[in-house]
Structure 1
Amino acid sequence: MNKSNLILVTLLIFSVLISLTFGSVLLTDLTYMQVFSIIIDIRLPRALMAVLTGAALAMSGAVFQIILKNPMADSFTLGMANGAVLGSSLVVVSVLPIFLAPIASIVFGLATMLLVVAIARKIDVTYRPETLIITGILLGALLSGLLYLLILLFPNETANISRYMFGSLGGANFNQVGILLFVTGVSFIIHLKFSRSLDLLKLGDIRAHALGVKVSLVRPLLLMVASIPPLIAIGYTGIIALVGIIIPQLILYVKPMTFAPLVKRSILLGALYVLFIDTLGRTIIAPIQIPTGVMVMLSAVPFFIFLLYKRNFKRS
C-alpha cells in the first residue's frame, strides 16, 4: 500500500470513530447501556453503510468512465437509478410488504441495465459507448416519467417515495452491510482481474481489439459487474448520485493513473467522502437530519463545477 492510500485508510478509520461519537443525541446524558445500544445498533451500521456505499459508487464510476469513455459517466448513466427507484416505489404504493422494496429496487435496476444492453446490441453489436449512453438516457427519461405518473396517482405515498428519491442512510443494519460488503468485494476483485483490459480500452476499441481485448464481450460484462454494487446500495439507501462522477475525476485531476491504482484510490476516497457528508448531514442542524443524497448534491455540484472550470482553464 502506497503512502497516499495509507493516509486515506487512517483518515477513514478515524472518521468512523468520529461518526460514532457525534449525532443528534448527546451520549453524555445517557446510561452505559443506552450509549452501547446507540453506537452498536444505530451509528456503527450507518457508518459502515456510508463507507461501503461511497466505495461502491466511486468504484463503479471509475469503471463506467473508462468503458463509456465519458468523464460524466457513472453507475447511474444507463438509467439504472431510475429503474431502481421505480421498483421501490411500486412496492410502496402496492399491497406488498415494505421489506421487498430493496429487492424490487435491485431487480428493476438490473432489468433496466439488461434492457439498455439488449437495445444497444440491436442498434450496434459492438456496444459503442455513445450507443449505450444515448439508450440509457432515453430509457431513464421514460422511467422517470412513469415515476412521476405514480406520484400523481398515489399522492398520499409521496413522502415514502421521496425517501428513495433523496437517499438516506438511516435505518441501516448489519445484514445490509454484510450483503453490500460481499458484493462490492467480489466486484472489486473481478475489476482488478480485467484491469489490463480496462487500460487498453482507453486506447480505443480498434487498438484494444488488436491487443487481444474482446471488446464486445468485456464491455457489457464489466458494465453489469460494475452495476450490481450501486444497485444494491440504492435498494437500501435510495439515490445518492454524483459520487461516482466526482471522485474518479478528482483523483485524475490531481494525478493521471492506470485503472488498478485509480480504482483503489476511488474506493478509499469515495468511502471517506460519503461518511463525512452523512455525518455532517445528521449533525449540522440536529435533531433534523438532512438526507445523505441531498447533502451530496449540495456539496458535489459546486465542487464539480470548480473542477470543470480549472480543467478548462488549464487547457486554455
Structure 2
Amino acid sequence: MNKTNCILVFLLIISVVLSIFTGSVNIGDINNMQAFTIMLDVRLPRALMAVLTGAALAMSGAVFQIILKNPMADSFTLGMANGAVLGAAVTVVTVIPAAFAPVLSIVLGLVSLLAVLLIARKLDLTYRPETLIITGILLGALLSGVLYIIILIFPEDTANIARYMFGSLGGADFSRVSVLLILTSAAFIILERCGRVLDLLKLGDIRAHALGVNVSVIRPALLITASVPPLVAISYTGIIALVGIIIPQIILYVKPMAFRPLLKRSVLIGGLYILIIDTLGRTLIAPLQIPTGVMVMLSAVPLFMFLLYKRILVNAR
C-alpha cells in the first residue's frame, strides 16, 4: 500500500471514531449504558454503512466509466439507482418481505441498465456518451414517475418511500452492514484481479480482443459484478447520486493512473466522502437530520459542474 492510501486509511479510521462520538445527543450528558447503546447500536453501524456505500458507489463508477467509455457513467446517470429504489419501494407497499428488497433492487437495477444500453444502441451505434447519459436520465425520470404513482396509490407509505427518494442512512444495522460488506469485498476482489483486463478495455474492443480479451463475455460479467454492491446499498439507503462520477474523475484529474490503483483509491475516498457528508448532515442542524442524499447533491453538483467544464475545455482543444 502506497503512502497516499495509508494516509486515507488512517483518515478513514479517525473519521469513523469521530462519527461515533458525534451526534445530536451529547454522550457526556447521559449515563454510560445509554451512551454505549447509542454508539454501538446506532452510530457505529451507520458509520460503517456510510463507508461501504461510498466505497460501492465509487468502485462501480470507476468500472462503468472504463467499460462504457463514458466519464459520466454511474448508477444514477444510467437509471440503475431509480430501478433499485423502485424495487425497494415495491417491498414497502406489497406483502413481499423487506428482506427481499436487495434482490428486487438488483433485478430492476440490472433490467434498467440493460434497457438503457439497448435503447442507446438503437439510437446510436457508436454509443456516444451523451446518448447513453440522456437515455439513462430519461429512463430514470420514467421510473421516478412510476414511483410517484405508487405514492399516490399508497399514501400511507409515503414517508417510507420518501426515505428512498432522498437517500438516508438512518436505517443502518449490523445485518445490512454485513451483507453489503460481503458483496462489496467480493466485487472488489474480482475487479482488482481483472485490473489488467480493464486496462486493456481502455484501448478499445478491437485491440483488447487482439490481446486475448473475450470482450463479449468479460464486459457484461464485469458490469454485473460492479452493479450488485451499489444496487444493494441503494436498496438500503435510497438514491445517493453522482458519487460514482465525481470520485473516480477527481482522482484521475489529479493524477492519471491504471485501474488497480484507481480502484483502491476510489474505494477509500468514496467511503471517506460519504462518511463525512453523512456526519455533517446529522449534526449541522441537530436534532434535525439532513438526508444523506440531499447532502451529497449539495456538495457533489458543484464538483460535477467543474468536471463538465474541464471536459468541455479538453474537447475544445
TM-score, normalisation: structure 2: 0.90
Q: 1:308 to 1:74 in 2, by over 3 A?
A: same
Q: Which residue of 2 aligns with 1:286?
A: 286
Q: Which residue of 2 aligns with 1:147?
A: 147
Residue 208 of structure 1: how far off its partner (Å):
1.4
Deviations 1:96-146 (A, max 9, x none): 454544443334323434555677899999999888666645543432332
Contact 1:117 1:220 in 2 (8 A): no
CA distance in structure 1 between the aligned counterparts of 2:113 and 2:66, rounded to whole angstroms: 17
CA distance in structure 2 between the aligned counterparts of 1:309 and 1:120, rounded to whole angstroms: 24
Deviations 1:211-248 (A, max 9, x none): 11111111111110000000110111111111100000
Which sits farther off after the overlay, 45-54 or 92-101?
92-101
Which sits farther off after the overlay, 149-158 or 128-137?
128-137
Give 3-state SS (helix, strand or coil) of 2:57's partner.
helix
Deviations 1:276-313 (A, max 9, x none): 00000000000001000000000010122233335555
Contact 1:125 1:216 in 2 (8 A): no
Give 3-state SS (helix, strand or coil) of 2:170's partner.
coil
Indicate yes or no: 2:272 matched with 1:245. Answer: no
Residue 51 of structure 1: how far off its partner (Å):
0.5
Equivalent runs, 1:113-124 vs 2, <5 Å:
113=113
Residue 149 of structure 1: how far off its partner (Å):
2.2
Q: Which residue of 2 aligns with 1:270?
A: 270
Q: Which residue of 1 aligns with 2:5?
A: 5
Q: Which residue of 2 aligns with 1:187?
A: 187
CA distance in structure 2 between the aligned counterparts of 1:295 and 1:129, rounded to whole angstroms: 27
Q: 1:302 to 1:139 in 2, by over 3 A?
A: closer
Q: Which residue of 2 aligns with 1:93?
A: 93
Equivalent runs, 1:80-229 vs 2, <5 Å:
80-113=80-113, 136-137=136-137, 139-229=139-229
Query: What is the root-mean-square deviation of aligned Cα atoms in Å?
Result: 2.6
CA distance in structure 1 between the aligned counterparts of 2:307 and 2:136, rounded to whole angstroms: 25
**AA matched with 1:186:** A
CA distance in structure 2 between the aligned counterparts of 1:181 and 1:97, rounded to whole angstroms: 22
CA distance in structure 2 between the aligned counterparts of 1:71 and 1:120, rounded to whole angstroms: 16
Give 3-state SS (helix, strand or coil) of 2:24's partner.
coil
Q: Which residue of 2 aligns with 1:254?
A: 254
Q: Which residue of 1 aligns with 2:55?
A: 55
CA distance in structure 2 between the aligned counterparts of 1:130 and 1:221, rounded to whole angstroms: 24
Residue 92 of structure 1: how far off its partner (Å):
2.0
Which sits farther off after the overlay, 200-209 or 51-60?
200-209
Give 3-state SS (helix, strand or coil) of 1:23's partner.
coil
Give 3-state SS (helix, strand or coil) of 1:240's partner.
coil
Give 3-state SS (helix, strand or coil) of 1:53's partner.
helix
Contact 1:68 1:133 in 2 (8 A): no
Unaligned stretches of 5+ residues in structure 2: none
Give 3-state SS (helix, strand or coil) of 1:16's partner.
helix
CA distance in structure 1 between the aligned counterparts of 2:244 and 2:31, rounded to whole angstroms: 40
Q: Which residue of 2 aligns with 1:73?
A: 73
Which sits farther off after the overlay, 93-102 or 59-68?
93-102
CA distance in structure 1 between the aligned counterparts of 2:150 and 2:34, rounded to whole angstroms: 41
CA distance in structure 2 between the aligned counterparts of 1:261 and 1:18, rounded to whole angstroms: 27
CA distance in structure 2 between the aligned counterparts of 1:306 and 1:114, rounded to whole angstroms: 29
Contact 1:126 1:216 in 2 (8 A): no
Aligned length: 316
Which sits farther off after the overlay, 100-109 or 255-264?
100-109
**AA matched with 1:74:** D
